Amino acid sequence: MMFKNQVVIITGGCSGIGRAAAFRFAQEGAKLFIADLSEKAGDVLMEELEKVGAEAAFARIDVTDAEDVERMITDCIQRFGGIHVLVNSAGILGPRARTERYPVEDFKNVMEINVFGLFNCMQAVLPHFLAKKSGNIVNLASVAGLGGFAGHVGYSASKHAVVGMTRTAALEYAKHGIRINAVCPSFTMTPMLENAMTNDDTNYLDALQNAIPMKRFGKPEEIADAIIYAASSAASFMTGHTLVMDGGLLIA
């Protein structure tokens, strides 16, 4: 078990990639602190993790609230005695619209959650990691943070920011035994994408899938495996890296 007795915080841990990562870390022996806005989903996840023998706790946390995030760090340390890994998975897609029609308030909201929320979490955990001279952060970015994403200027801008923050923080803390990496998925079969399938035209989703050389969407479990790798000792000489999981999209 790669993470036996290690403590892992996962934000946005009740759905999609964050949820898949929770079960993968549990399989590897980690103690889990799950943060999410949905208490109902948190209760369900705790029951499911208990069934597989995982030691886990849940807290309703708004990552855009710095005080909430500080409480998350404090509560996790009090509950489990420390933190080894932080996975920043909380995020939203925002609406689809061309840039000249993109609603300003939606742009601000995407940036608030995807950028400032992630910043709050990194800033809150880093003093703890510095004190023990070790720690690991895995940020969920996107291939939209490495290129363009037509119709999603807010999301693309936010994920470019995540990549930039990851690389900058990795430079700042490498000498302190702290590794910080980003995982960059392309279109993955999560509730975010499923909602698009319900509310959007199917031609658009078909176009997204056909743009991927593998001709399919990613699975949350596949992205979770990349998170596990980035956080594990197998990647001990890797920091500031953007680990692309895109079915070949960027080389198409």
Q: What pLDDT is attached to residue 9?
A: 98
* Helix runs in the chain, H state only: 16-27, 39-51, 66-80, 104-111, 118-132, 153-173, 191-199, 202-211, 220-231
What confidence tens digit (pLDDT) does each residue in 72-86 have? 999 999 999 999 999
The CB density around residue 64, as the number of other CB atoms within 10 Å, is 18
Distance (Å, rounded) from C-alpha 83 to C-alpha 90?
18
Q: What pLDDT is attached to residue 105?
A: 98
- Which residues are CB-neighbours of 48 under 8 A, at least 6 positions away? none
Asked whether 128 and 229 are in contact (CB, 8 A), the reply is no
Domain locations in the chain as residue ranges? 7-251
- What pTM did the predictor assign? 0.95
Q: Provide the CA 70 distance to its chain's centre, in angstroms.
A: 18
Q: Do you know the residue count of the chain?
A: 252
3 state SS of 141: coil
H or E element, residue 68? helix 66-80
Strands (E), 146-226: 178-185
Return the closest-CA partner of residue 249 out of 196, 187, 206, 192.
187
Which regions of the chain are under pLDDT 70? 195-202
Return the closest-CA partner of residue 157 out of 115, 121, 98, 196.
115
What confidence tens digit (pLDDT) does each residue in 164-207 have? 999 999 999 999 999 999 999 999 988 777 766 555 566 778 88
* Residue 15 vs residues 3, 21, 170, 224, 247: alpha-carbon distances, Å: 21, 10, 27, 12, 22
Distance (Å, rounded) from C-alpha 37 to C-alpha 170?
28
Return the closest-CA partner of residue 141 out of 9, 3, 17, 7.
17
Distance (Å, rounded) from C-alpha 139 to C-alpha 141?
6
Q: What pLDDT is attached to residue 51?
A: 97
CATH 3.40.33.10 correct for 7-251: no
Q: Which residues pair with 7 in a beta bridge?
A: 31
Instruction: Report, as residue numbers or ranges, the catalytic residues.
Output: 155
H or E element, residue 76? helix 66-80
